Chains A and B, each alone.
Chain A
Amino acid sequence: MSGDSFKECGRIVIVGAGLAGLRGAETLRAKGFTGSVTVVGEEEYEPYDRPPLSKQVLTGHAPANHTLLPRLGPLDGVDWRLGVKAVGLDRSANQVHLDDGSALSFDRVLIATGLRARPWPKKEEAALDGVFVVHGIDDATAVRRRLEAGPGRVLVIGGGFIGSEFASVCRMLDIDVTLVERGPSPLSGALGGVIGDIAAGIQRAHGVDLRTGTRVEALEGDEDGRVRAARLSDGEMLQADLVLAALGGIRNTEWLRGSGLAAGPLGVACDAGCRAADENAIVTDDVFVAGDVARFPHVLYGRELVALEHWRNAVVGAQIAAHNMLSEPVHRRPHVSVPMFWSIQFGVNIKSVGIPSIADEIVITQGSPNDRRFVAAYGSQGRTVAAVTFDGAHWLEHYESLIMSSAPFPPDLGDADQATGADRKPAAFPPPGTVSHGPTVVVTGHSPTEVRAHRIFTEEMNP
């Protein structure tokens, strides 16, 4: 089925009822698709927004059930299949198999299954009462209840964005918190060691008991199965009655095993127009991918495959995918938006544009880290590839234009309030696998990390 008849009476299944799934469904209807749209979601909830969960929901500013996403377009006749999980994709029969035993037939399918939080790896310890991840509404509701009850000490494992935001929430609520990070500093996986050191200073100034270069070896419970302490790599037994594992995410691709698609722990590979690729790198015509789970070749990064765990990427990717699902080849559009990210912690608005983790150099271009208000630019091979702002969001657009034009590094800011004595320094990204949190961007492609990734894949899929 093609062209007008598909637009009128085709069948589209969207697997994943998060931000990307919702915006994808809206875009299909907004662009005049009148056929059937079925959205499959593992959770019982209508599409909701995750970023507030680790911020205003945990602080008690808003309850978790307030995070349902606004619907911004027509969704006439969309069939929401919530509380069921996709367990397989049969590309010969064009069917999505569900865990209730049923199957949905499609002409085109959009994969938007996102990721889930990586749990504390030791299953028995992860099952202790008081050990949590924060990814969904249920997690946030349960953790908020514990925070309200007033825990003695909170332990956060992992100093990425979620872990750091959680430590910030604890301090706002005047709760004692220890953050244990295996790497040299918090946020260093995403933003490098120079920014990581600044983040560490901010955390300590806010009273976080920050332990870097330290691992949690084991969690211990009492006779009632409640967590009570953690054994650290330096031998200390740290008392804690609430533990948050903030170890990054796992992309939900296991259900695609056997589908023949290029799917694994790094995501589902697709082309710049969101069409999924198969294991032989042949692009498919009827399978599309969007959101956290998509790996697409980005024009700004040598067309290497990029996976972005960013809010904006889910919105834009889904819109592009939906557009392309309905379009003839000459009218298809590429997904070329510049990656952008934000985090709110310790009263600071941290934002980034571009992909910092591919940089080798960094320079503070404006403001001063001492004031906790500054902009830093990241360079790779003499070009500006990313920037981060601490309470300097209004500068971001300017840096976006520098990145889009591959401006020289360090950037010339003309008469702007350029930082004095700005020195270029190594960006100091820790080697892969040495931090307990990852970057929220994974750049993959024809690099040795592919091999490592394959090994992770094998371990996770065949435990």
Chain B
Amino acid sequence: MRVVVDLTLCQGYAQCCFLAPNLFTLLGEEALLYDPGPDDSERVAVLRSAAACPVQAILVEDSSAS
């Protein structure tokens, strides 16, 4: 699946790092490293992270998009 984080918006709240620690990692205080192409089996964790992001910076492809 495809994910992109709008790092213009990201403020390092790190909710995603708690909810999907395999995919989102903080480097230092607030620099986010993430895997933009996680396996489909991670979909639930990714969607949870996207929903929990306080600044709604995590953008996930809708599986119905063509």
Contact = CB atoms under 8 A, between A and B. Distances in A.
A62 B8 contact: no
A342 B8 contact: yes
B31 A347 contact: yes
B30 A70 contact: no
B7 A51 contact: yes
Interface of B: 1-4, 6-8, 10-12, 25, 27-38, 59-62, 65-66
A461 B36 CA distance: 37
Contacts of A70: 1-4, 59-61
B65 A71 contact: yes
A97 interface: no
Contact of A349 (B28, B36, B59): B28
A68 B33 contact: no
Q: Is the interface of A mostly helix, strand, loop or mixed?
A: mixed
A332 B61 CA distance: 28
Which 8 A-B pairs give the minimum distances between C-beta atoms?
A66-B37, A347-B28, A70-B61, A70-B2, A349-B31, A344-B31, A62-B35, A71-B65
Given A52-B36, A75-B66, A69 B31 contact: no
Interface of A: 49, 51-52, 55-56, 59, 61-63, 65-76, 310-312, 315, 340-342, 344, 346-349, 351, 373, 391, 393-394, 396
A62 B10 contact: no
Nearest to B27: A347
B37 A71 contact: no
Nearest to A51: B7
Contacts of A74: 65-66
A69 B66 CA distance: 13
Nearest to B3: A70
A312 B10 CA distance: 12
B28 A72 contact: no
Which of A74, A76, A311, A393 lies at the interface centre, i.e. has the most chain B CB atoms within 10 A of its CB? Answer: A393
Contact of A69 (B2, B7, B28, B62): B2
9 contacts: A51-B7, A66-B35, A66-B36, A68-B36, A70-B1, A341-B8, A344-B31, A393-B11, A394-B12
Which of B25, B28, B32 lies at the interface centre, i.e. has the most chain A CB atoms within 10 A of its CB? Answer: B28
